[in-house]
Amino acid sequence: MNYSSKRKRHAELSDLLDKYSRQYYIFDDPSVSDAEYDSYYRELLEIEKEFPELKSSGSPSQKVGSPVLKGFQKVVHPTPMLSLENAYNEEDISDFIERVEKISGRTNEELVLEPKLDGLSVSIVYRKGTLITAATRGDGLVGEDVTSNIMSLNCIPQRIDDCSEEIEIRGEIIILKSHFQELNREREEKGEKLFANPRNAAAGSLRQLDSQITASRKLTFFAYAIVSKQGNFATQIDILNALKKYGFTVSSEIMLCRNQSTAFEFYKKIEKRRVELEYDIDGIVYKVNDLSLQKKLGASSKFPRHAIAYKFPADKAQTTVLDIILQVGRTGNITPVAILKPITVGGVVVSRATLHNKDEVEKRDVRIGDRVILQRAGDVIPQILHPILEKRPTNAMPFVFPSICPCCSSPILKIKDEVALKCINFNCEAQLVERLIHFVSKFAFNIDGLGEQNIRFLFKKEIIKKPIDIFYMESKNKELHLENLEGWGKQSVENLFRSINAARTITLDRFIYALGIPQTGRAVSKLMATFFHTYEVFLKCIKNKEGQRLCEISGVGSSIANDFDIFFSQENNLKLVIGLCGDENSPGIIKIMDMASPENDIFDGQSIVLTGSFEKFSREGVKELVEKFGGKVTSSVSAKTSLVVAGTNVGQKLEQAKKLGIKIISEDNFIKIVDKK
């Protein structure tokens, strides 16, 4: 074939492959086998190899195989990617509809019913019709940058027509059941570990550092939302129609309804057909159709109030309740826990299950010795549904709740408007230990060497009784002699002190989270820290008892603000903050980093390498600061590296940086740079 014929054949193949991809991914109606598709694709590659000039950005070959990534950069979501509140019965859905109609003032409010896909949530941003950024949900506020991987997938349009403004599309990355089975067969043949389920396979495939691996995994993207620029649409149905017009896959199993009976019929219909679908779903999403009402309903710190997920029944099993114990949480909540004869449910061995609260134990009449039906609620949390009464042994014992805390013997009280019983003794040892465990956890101070076991050991030895004790351990070690304790040694103690010293500098959001304020998880902590911006403003709010100011933050309501005020009305909590961080009268023993403002992106666009050990920060802490100020941490030095931050005991990276003439700064100089901001 001459050049003219090859060019004509290349155009034919490109159109054919685009058509087949669209039929397969968009309309869920494949018209050719995988083998036939692959043969056409290989033919296209051979032509481009012979005539490289035919390879354009629009060629099917250019939608696969982006460069290998060195690591994922973080992306801040313009609008938080919240989870969905779960419902497990018709009563929960009725309550949801009642709440919606109470706000709208209308009856028979339109709802859109959509399958709840069991995959990985992704946000994709287009600017002037061109895909520019894609990110996973992450913690809801910050996700992983997976732009290169998303762009390698044929199922996602690189451009969308008739869109001149910036637009954010959200949806779910999944893997079809047939592709999942095929993938596991291939891994089995290679002797590789099999994926546990399609959801894990999809998530693992998208989070590859090599986008060619992602491209090879035959992932599918189902779109379900347009977050920005909703002014062009009046309803959720308008959005779904627009997504299909833009070229995205939208589930065909969608229904618009106005009454509960129809909504429940649809749920039952899809539940029966669930095994027939080509993809995994774990429930039905009930979503308000009217976008103006969606906005009016707003959101909590975790969930939008315009939608709820009615989950399908989870995997079930039978087992025996060996005992019921009480656990005391860091906020004093008393939780009954069933100790079970170990049983496998949904591929996971379960030996404990929460009984939630006293009301639940009495309502379900769960007794020690009972044979019970167990399920993993939402396929995650072990949950006892009910005892099997016909199998109840004659010696089964009802659990009697004590009137005093099982740990400190203080009175247990029922707080007004709360379900849980509480130990009201702030100095209850169980609460103190749980607060310490939370304080040093990964997303708080992240102190290596102070895991749960060591915290409990050191608390029992009365070495650590409160958080501030942690930062005085090194100076007191001449008296403590930690290296002589069972299970400890000189090296482990040195490593611990190094980790503690690195934790003496912490960002404001992680510090707020570490305090363990009720209802203040990671997402809310970040919202608060961004609102306060500096430790000084945060401290002023505490001292002046101005917690209600938090209601100004989108996603933070009066309940969270009330808990904030109550927490800091306890003198011990205020003393802890000042003792750690100081005030106008004392310097404190740790340093709080201010939250960065958008204009303070001092490392904007820079590729930064870390080498050696850091004394004043953990490595994760340095990485967070680089990313917070607009930079990206990479693992190896190259000509593209902008800066190297060097600690002690550096390796070959420092020599490589010197040879390439790359700027090198010490940890102290790094701190000076970020301090200026």
Q: What is the mean pLDDT of the chain?
A: 84
pLDDT at 169 over 90: yes
C-alpha 611/C-alpha 652 separation (Å) is 9
CATH of residue 634's domain is 3.40.50.10190
Residues 6+ positions from 254 with CB-CB distance below 8 Å: 112, 113, 114, 115, 240
DSSP track, 162-180: S--S-EEEEEEEEE-HHHH
C-alpha angle 457-460-465 in degrees, rounded to nearest 5 = 100
What pLDDT score does 614 carry? 81
Range of the domain at 223: 86-311
Residue 57 banded pLDDT, cuts 50, 70, 90: low
CATH of residue 290's domain is 3.30.470.30
69 inside domain = no
141 inside domain = yes
Query: Which tokens sit at 282?
Result: 């774990």
What pLDDT score does 83 carry? 83
Of the residues 311, 337, 361, the one at which a domain ends: 311
- 490 has catalytic annotation: no
Q: Are residues 341 and 286 in the same domain?
A: no
Q: Are residues 226 and 330 in the same domain?
A: no
C-alpha 116/C-alpha 178 separation (Å) is 19
494, burial (CB in 10 Å: exposed 0-12, middle 13-18, buried 19+):
middle
Asked if residue 52 lies in contact with residue 62, where contact means CB atoms within 8 angstroms, the answer is no
Other CB atoms within 10 A of residue 323 CB:
12
C-alpha 205/C-alpha 118 separation (Å) is 15
Q: Are residues 540 and 463 in the same domain?
A: no
For 243-296, write each residue's pLDDT tens digit.
999 999 999 899 999 888 899 999 999 988 877 788 888 899 999 999 999 999
Q: Are residues 165 and 258 in the same domain?
A: yes
C-alpha 11/C-alpha 19 separation (Å) is 12
Asked if residue 39 lies in contact with residue 13, where contact means CB atoms within 8 angstroms, the answer is no
Q: Are residues 137 and 252 in the same domain?
A: yes
Q: Are residues 202 and 252 in the same domain?
A: yes
CATH of residue 358's domain is 2.40.50.140
C-alpha 518/C-alpha 559 separation (Å) is 10
Of the residues 549, 577, 593, the one at which a domain ends: 593
pLDDT at 211 over 80: no
Report the pLDDT averaged over residues 586-604.
Answer: 77
408 inside domain = no
Q: Is 224 helix (H, G, I), strand (E, B) or coil?
A: strand
Asked if residue 124 lies in contact with residue 222, where contact means CB atoms within 8 angstroms, the answer is no
pLDDT at 535 over 90: yes
What pLDDT score does 619 carry? 74
Nearest C-alpha neighbor of 157 from the set 144, 171, 145: 171
CATH of residue 450's domain is 1.10.150.20
77 inside domain = no
Q: Are residues 540 and 602 in the same domain?
A: no
Q: Distances in Å between the alpha carbon of 51 and those of 7, 46, 56, 569?
A: 9, 9, 11, 74
C-alpha 398/C-alpha 362 separation (Å) is 9
Of the residues 593, 628, 656, the one at which a domain ends: 593
Residue 22 banded pLDDT, cuts 50, 70, 90: low
189 inside domain = yes
Q: Are residues 164 and 294 in the same domain?
A: yes
Q: Are residues 379 and 348 in the same domain?
A: yes
Q: Are residues 168 and 282 in the same domain?
A: yes
Candidates 63, 116, 591, 653; catalytic one: 116
Q: What's the total number of domains in the chain? A: 6
605 inside domain = yes
Q: Are residues 588 and 605 in the same domain?
A: no
Residues 6+ positions from 415 with CB-CB distance below 8 Å: 422
Residues 6+ positions from 562 with CB-CB distance below 8 Å: 547
Query: Which tokens sit at 319?
Result: 């087992």
pLDDT at 14 over 50: yes
Q: Are residues 137 and 232 in the same domain?
A: yes
221 inside domain = yes
411 inside domain = no
For 416-425, write each residue's pLDDT tens digit.
777 778 898 8
